């Protein structure tokens, strides 16, 4: 995974899509993971709503059981964020982001010689919930597919609170 542009520019573009007044931030921190023979710089991404971390890579994902040396080759969060930015707004609710799905195959872990680690990142649904270009009524119907404890609902609740604060007498 190579990042050609500074993350700060990508962060600014993504956060510009969020509902004004919504205290949601996307951050990337690089962690150096050292062994006696090597060092790999592993990106760690977070989405914070206020002071609460509502999404964390790799902390919230089964990936943390794998060696950090393979993470940058398995997952491209910055690429996923760019894909989100490039997706037309009218396609967001139905678009399938390929980078959302992570599949790891390597030798020697199962009888058939393949170990499969497969999971969804669940990042783009949170971005969709915060996206100012999408109406709350349409999002409420869309959000029904997610469990009540999903970060999507936290963002939609915060979004509704911001909307009430903006409305006179609300």
Model confidence pLDDT, tens digit, residues 73-118: 667 899 999 999 999 999 999 999 999 988 776 554 555 556 667 7
Domain that holds residue 101: 7-166
How many domains, the chain?
1
143 belongs to a structural domain? yes
pLDDT of 2 above 50: no
pLDDT value at position 74? 67
Q: What is the mean pLDDT of residues 14-30?
A: 96
77 burial class (0-12, 13-18, 19+ CB within 10 angstroms)? buried
160 belongs to a structural domain? yes
2 belongs to a structural domain? no
Model confidence pLDDT, tens digit, residues 134-155: 998 999 999 999 999 999 999 9
124 burial class (0-12, 13-18, 19+ CB within 10 angstroms)? buried
Biggest CA–CA distance in the chain, Å, is 65
Residue 14 contacts residue 23 (beta carbons within 8 Å): no
Q: Quick one: DSSP state of residue 150?
A: S
69 belongs to a structural domain? yes
Residue 142: which residues within 8 A CB-CB, separation 6 or more? 93, 128
- Bridge-partner residues for 106, per DSSP? 115
This prediction's pTM: 0.84
pLDDT value at position 113? 52
Q: What is the H or E stretch that residue 26 is in?
A: strand 24-34
Q: What is the H or E stretch that residue 145 is in?
A: none
Rounded (10°) angle between helices 77-86 and 7-15: 40
Residue 33 contacts residue 43 (beta carbons within 8 Å): no
Q: 27-54 burial string, b = 16+ CB within 10 Å, else e?
A: ebeeeeeeeeeeebebbbbbbebeeeeb
For the chain, the average pLDDT equals 85
């Amino acid at each position: 995974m190579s990042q050609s542009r500074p993350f700060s520019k990508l962060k600014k573009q993504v956060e510009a899509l969020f509902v004004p007044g919504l205290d949601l931030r996307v951050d990337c921190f690089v962690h150096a993971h050292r062994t006696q023979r090597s060092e790999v710089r592993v990106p760690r991404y977070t989405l914070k709503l206020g002071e609460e971390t509502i999404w964390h890579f790799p902390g919230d994902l089964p990936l943390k059981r794998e060696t950090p040396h393979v993470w940058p080759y398995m997952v491209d969060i910055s690429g996923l964020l760019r894909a989100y930015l490039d997706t037309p707004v009218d396609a967001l609710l139905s678009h399938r982001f390929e980078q959302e799905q992570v599949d790891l195959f390597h030798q020697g872990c199962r009888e058939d010689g393949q170990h499969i680690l497969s999971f969804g990142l669940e990042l783009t649904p949170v971005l969709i919930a915060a996206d100012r270009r999408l109406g709350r009524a349409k999002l409420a119907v869309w959000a029904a597919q997610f469990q009540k404890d999903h970060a999507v609902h936290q963002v939609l609740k915060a979004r509704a609170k911001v909307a009430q604060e903006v409305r006179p007498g609300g």
